[in-house]
Structure 1
């Protein structure tokens, strides 16, 4: 992750500037260029997208995973581009920024967000967790396949962990899963996936 520009701008300016190529976020008015993900990171993202699409298709749910949409917290000049953003298409009609900026602002539009941790782990555990909670996103996964997060988040000794944050009475409660644990997802309670299967996605041929 690198800071692309030091000038502080508004979200409107960012949305109008954002190029088609590359991946950028706006953090409190500062444009940030996201680094190219590693191969295992991309394999895990692709694996999870396949599993989620299969599950919501099986259940005939009105969901979709966009390629490059943004999530904007309500009270800051910030826009995030999650690794996986699950949208409820039925609620997009209420989203004022969707048609022209591919941006969502309401928790009702976002059943689930997944971030796969890179070197910028503080963004996922600190900033994004707080902002996603404020937006009211019901479920947020942090997939830390390298065990990069701070010890206060994933324990000591550090080890690869999937943290699932569930919104309960407007606050996140976190459950953590490791090794052979089966993932428990409030959005997809019948999803049959273990942590090991997810982490080994990059090794599958």
Structure 2
């Protein structure tokens, strides 16, 4: 649902963003969009996966952390709030707006972004994919536990799919897809021992 129709800048969006409403908003090409609140399986998938990734961080003693929330500025008129984001403790010291506004403006601060697919699946497979690629996010996961994505993205017949996109040397995403008992392959977390089914079939 659109909250405003006049195109605005990212800075105007942050200044507008209401506090303590319990509602999430994103900025898509200058338009403020009210995002569906994660519920039920979506909420559990996000929470369980964040726990798994947090455990992998601790076990490998990596200098990463997972904030409860933050907004990633991908363009002058676009900013997204990922379901899960893994940030680099070292690189984030160079983020001028992190402490004050929980805003990330540098791709170097981000190790991984995860979006759990809901009814607005085109955002994850098209809009955000393009934005994260252009911004330079090194690794992007799309968790489609309910097989909501289009057939061109997850195949026909549609089945629950975990898609992992990683940037190559040319700055373009290459991807692999995982289903069922496939062991997840993550460049950011090579020590992760999870199957796709463990993520998709909670």
TM-score w.r.t. the length of structure 1 is 0.93
Partner of residue 7, structure 2: 8
| 1:11 CA displacement | 0.9
Gaps of 5+ in 1: none
Partner of residue 110, structure 1: 110
Q: Please tell me whether residue 180 in structure 1 is matched to residue 162 in structure 2.
A: no
| 1:38 CA displacement | 2.8
Paired with 2:147 and 2:201, the residues of 1 have a C-alpha distance of 14
Partner of residue 52, structure 2: 51
Q: Is the 8 A contact 1:105 1:135 kept in 2?
A: no
| 1:36 CA displacement | 2.1
Equivalent residues in 2 for 1:128-167 (5 A)?
A: 128-167=128-167
Q: Is the 8 A contact 1:64 1:88 kept in 2?
A: yes
Q: Deviations over 1:126-183 (max 9, x none)?
A: 1111111111111000000111111111111111100000111111001000111111
| 1:96 CA displacement | 2.7
| 1:97 CA displacement | 2.5
Partner of residue 77, structure 2: 77
Q: Please tell me whether residue 62 in structure 1 is matched to residue 63 in structure 2.
A: yes
Q: Secondary structure at the match of 1:124?
A: helix
Paired with 1:3 and 1:68, the residues of 2 have a C-alpha distance of 21
Q: Is the 8 A contact 1:107 1:135 kept in 2?
A: yes
| 1:37 CA displacement | 2.0
| 1:113 CA displacement | 0.2
| 1:125 CA displacement | 0.6
Partner of residue 200, structure 1: 201
Partner of residue 41, structure 2: 40
Q: Secondary structure at the match of 1:3?
A: coil
Paired with 2:47 and 2:186, the residues of 1 have a C-alpha distance of 18
Q: Is the 8 A contact 2:161 2:200 kept in 1?
A: no
Q: Secondary structure at the match of 1:123?
A: helix
Aligned residues: 199
Q: Secondary structure at the match of 2:127?
A: helix
TM-score w.r.t. the length of structure 2 is 0.94
Q: Is the 8 A contact 1:83 1:115 kept in 2?
A: yes
